[in-house]
Structure 1
Amino acid sequence: MTEPRPRTTRPRDRKQQIIAAASEQFRASGFHNVGISDIAEAVGISGPAVYRHFRGKQELLYATLADAIDKNTEAFRGEYRDLRELLDAVAVAMLERRHTGVLWERELAHLAQEQRQELRARYVATIEPLRAAIAASRPDLSADSVELLLRAVIAVFATMSQHAGKAEPARARQLMADLAGVLCAFRGFVPREDADGGRRPAPRGRLLPVSRRQAVLAVATRLFAERGYEAVGMEDIATAAGGMAGPSLYHHFAGKSAILVAALTRCLEALLFDLSAALEYAERPGQALDAALHSFVRVSIQHGDAMRALLHEIVNVPAEERQNVRRMQHDYVTEWTALLSGHRPELSPAEAELLVHTAHSVVTTLSHDGEPWTRQARREEIIALSRTVLGLPVDAPSAD
């Protein structure tokens, strides 16, 4: 006689297991490339079992982002003697949840507007103690300057925690807190009247290239950045590109993913081309690195749409084409890392690469803040903050 199988008890933390698995799946593959069955398999349950806890994938995405915010709340709201103690605690918390920044930046757009607003409000409330601590330590700063430092410090934590795997954990944590502290003491602010001449420029227009192919690339890059890759159809691109017929796009590109690949490749080639000039004419590694930094800031300010697509939409590139884009990204970071190592030989290769990724993040974060005219006015501050991250002289003459 066959004995009855023992009845299994559902773990009390099953919902949290699902959230953890979903977070990892969304981070690695992107929201639209992950199915409920993928998440269920990672947990070791059936697809219908996921629906006992969540009505669908979008609700699960909301839960992963809310969970990430809530888990960081304790670190920001503890009792601390000073700003440095708070920065140390946040560094520890961020290293424990290394990839939440990727989810926040890339996947938030897939939620309904009211959900996005609610999560942003929760996020702002979570980091408010850090804002208050920076303001208290810097009574000389305006609210705008405090906000700038806050965004730069958050970029440091998010990026260094994400890329900290190659560095020794204790050293990575120290680097994060030290760099955040240095940025909080930053004094290279440009007076607003000097930055923008005391007047707001007229809104910029959008002239399309005469070339149909280039016009498609320009409008598609903007639409991908504004709406997200998955939300943009070929008809949307055709309409924005001067009212082209949808099928005519296929004379220029094999499909939507080919447009994304072309946009990403063009952006990276521009950066690499500028970098080659920096290497050609510079006499020292630090000088070449500073020239590369100016190029990166310029592209980030003037072509922020392409930069956002580069950062967040690469998971939508087909695997066979993604490898080439990743290789170009790797080559760019490798050249920066070699230059930084040459300028600061006391850094290990892992530490130099960590600082390079962080400088890139600070630039892209601050370059996408506000309207183009405000970003351009902030240009010198972005350069100075990034020089601080890299350990370059903050008061060096412009490389332009």
Structure 2
Amino acid sequence: MSRQEARLTSGAPVRRPRDRKAQLARAAAELFGRRGYHAVGVNDIAAAAGVTGPALYRHFQNKQDVLGYVLLTGVDKLTVRVCTAVEGVENDPERGLRPLLEAAAEVSIEERALTALWRWQGRHLHAGDQKEIRRRVGALLAQWLKGLRALRPELDDGAADVICFAALSVFGSVGDHHATLPTPEFTRLLARLGETVVRTPLPTEQAPTVWRTRAPAPTRREELLTAATRLFRDRGFHAVSMEDIGAAAGIAGPSIYRHFTSKSDILLAASRRMADRLRLGLDNSLATATNAEDALRRLVRSYVDTVLRSDDLIAVYTAELVNLPERDGKELRVLQREYVTEWVRLLREVRPGMSDPAARVVVHAALTIVNDLPRTGRVNGRATLAAELAALAAAVLVAD
């Protein structure tokens, strides 16, 4: 018999831990990060925290409420940690920049699971919690921008947004991978990558247009695939039905099954297409390069072009593989790892003193910048975005 059970049977009062709500939130964050939001139930969270399901409802109304608490608390932690450092940049931009970047790096590493949770599970929040998080993050972002403008007064508002969001992507990238380093080294590396972004000159001209022949009219299958990937990106795989996909494509529900056997079949087709596009870009970059650095720069431009043509696909490919059948998901995760490993190999040829874990941190920072900014409303309409993405990613990879 447990101690708690003994107290219950003896009639003695049971003392609840004062931090029970925080304990439940920590358990939920770990489960959401490991299994995904939809695979976790209220009873799973309660069991992980060592309480019963009904006990959880004393603190939270439902699973969405738990997620909102976890993420809002995380945003508040970030704000407290970097607020003083942001003020330092405003007062003395040159001397204040590194403490700010190191503070942001420390929080990102310490709250790595929370960073991943926000990046990939935030869309499951209540609308009210989403709005409140945007408000709090927006207030902090305004301070960041004020400090950045003091450091680089030549930037116009749009360019300052690009630099600011790219730097945030560097810190957010730790939620996209499992590579790790000793904490002091990890912090210094992330801060240095953030500073590289902040100081990178942005191109003022558009990237050269990539010539393409006119695409044929989409088939019904293509229309369904396009509609589905957009819905998966916006709502998440589990929140989309086959009827939703058919309606978005203007196709009656039963007709979908002439092209795809299930929703998972659509997800698999989208993921394989993205994997094929990335592999083609990799092969072309390696085949035409003169050396490792040239290959890396070509690969950056190829990746930027592929993401800008496939922003829905890349979002699904990076976030939804967990929802595939085990065999298919495993196959595609292997392809993802192999693709990143080629970037790491090239980077270590260019910078032979860099360890494998450090190279992986750098590569993921560059990839995350390219993945994030086309999905950021304040910058994704810029005519120069392709050139800016290529410049920022290349700077992160090859700058000293």
TM-score (normalizing by structure 1):
0.88
Q: Is the 8 A contact 1:271 1:296 kept in 2?
A: yes
**Aligned equivalent of 1:201:** none
**Aligned equivalent of 1:396:** none
**C-alpha separation in 2, matches of 1:263 and 1:63:** 33
Unpaired runs of 5+ residues, structure 1, are: 197-206, 394-400
**Aligned equivalent of 2:116:** 102
Q: Find 1:239's aligned residue among 247, 251, 257.
A: 247
**Aligned equivalent of 2:142:** 128
State yes or no: 1:291 paired with 2:280. no
State yes or no: 1:4 paired with 2:10. yes
- SS of the residue 1:75 aligns to: helix
**Aligned equivalent of 2:310:** 303
Equivalent residue letter for 1:337? V
Equivalent residue letter for 1:44? G
Equivalent residue letter for 1:387? A
Q: Is the 8 A contact 2:119 2:175 kept in 1?
A: no
* Deviations, residues 172-225 of structure 1 (Å, cap 9, x unaligned): 1000111111211111331xxx449xxxxxxxxxx9954332222122112222
**Aligned equivalent of 1:183:** 197
* Deviations, residues 357-396 of structure 1 (Å, cap 9, x unaligned): 1110011111223399725531111100000110169xxx
Q: Find 1:248's aligned residue among 229, 243, 255.
A: 255
**Aligned equivalent of 2:230:** 222
State yes or no: 1:169 paired with 2:171. no
| CA-CA distance at 1:7 after TM superposition | 4.6
Equivalent residue letter for 2:30? E
Equivalent residue letter for 2:181? A
Matches of residues 254-269 of structure 1 in structure 2 within 5 Å?
254-269=261-276
| CA-CA distance at 1:130 after TM superposition | 2.4
TM-score (normalizing by structure 2):
0.88
**C-alpha separation in 2, matches of 1:384 and 1:228:** 31
| CA-CA distance at 1:351 after TM superposition | 0.8
| CA-CA distance at 1:116 after TM superposition | 1.3
Q: Is the 8 A contact 1:208 1:218 kept in 2?
A: no
**C-alpha separation in 2, matches of 1:233 and 1:163:** 29
**C-alpha separation in 2, matches of 1:375 and 1:274:** 24
Unpaired runs of 5+ residues, structure 2, are: 1-5, 89-94, 208-214
| CA-CA distance at 1:4 after TM superposition | 3.3
**Aligned equivalent of 1:65:** 71
State yes or no: 1:367 paired with 2:374. yes
* Deviations, residues 247-272 of structure 1 (Å, cap 9, x unaligned): 23223222111211110111011101
**C-alpha separation in 1, matches of 2:349 and 2:107:** 32
Change beyond 3 A, Cα 1:271–1:366: same
Identity of aligned residues (%): 35
State yes or no: 1:36 paired with 2:32. no
Change beyond 3 A, Cα 1:104–1:130: same
**C-alpha separation in 2, matches of 1:293 and 1:234:** 36
Q: Is the 8 A contact 1:286 1:392 kept in 2?
A: no
**C-alpha separation in 2, matches of 1:13 and 1:371:** 39
Structural RMSD (CA): 2.4
**C-alpha separation in 2, matches of 1:143 and 1:230:** 38
**C-alpha separation in 2, matches of 1:93 and 1:225:** 27
- Range with greater deviation from structure 2 (314-323 or 57-66): 314-323
- SS of the residue 1:166 aligns to: coil
- SS of the residue 1:214 aligns to: helix
- SS of the residue 2:58 aligns to: coil
| CA-CA distance at 1:37 after TM superposition | 1.1
- SS of the residue 2:134 aligns to: helix
Number of aligned positions between the proteins: 379
* Deviations, residues 99-137 of structure 1 (Å, cap 9, x unaligned): 223222222222233331221111122343322221111
Change beyond 3 A, Cα 1:271–1:22: same
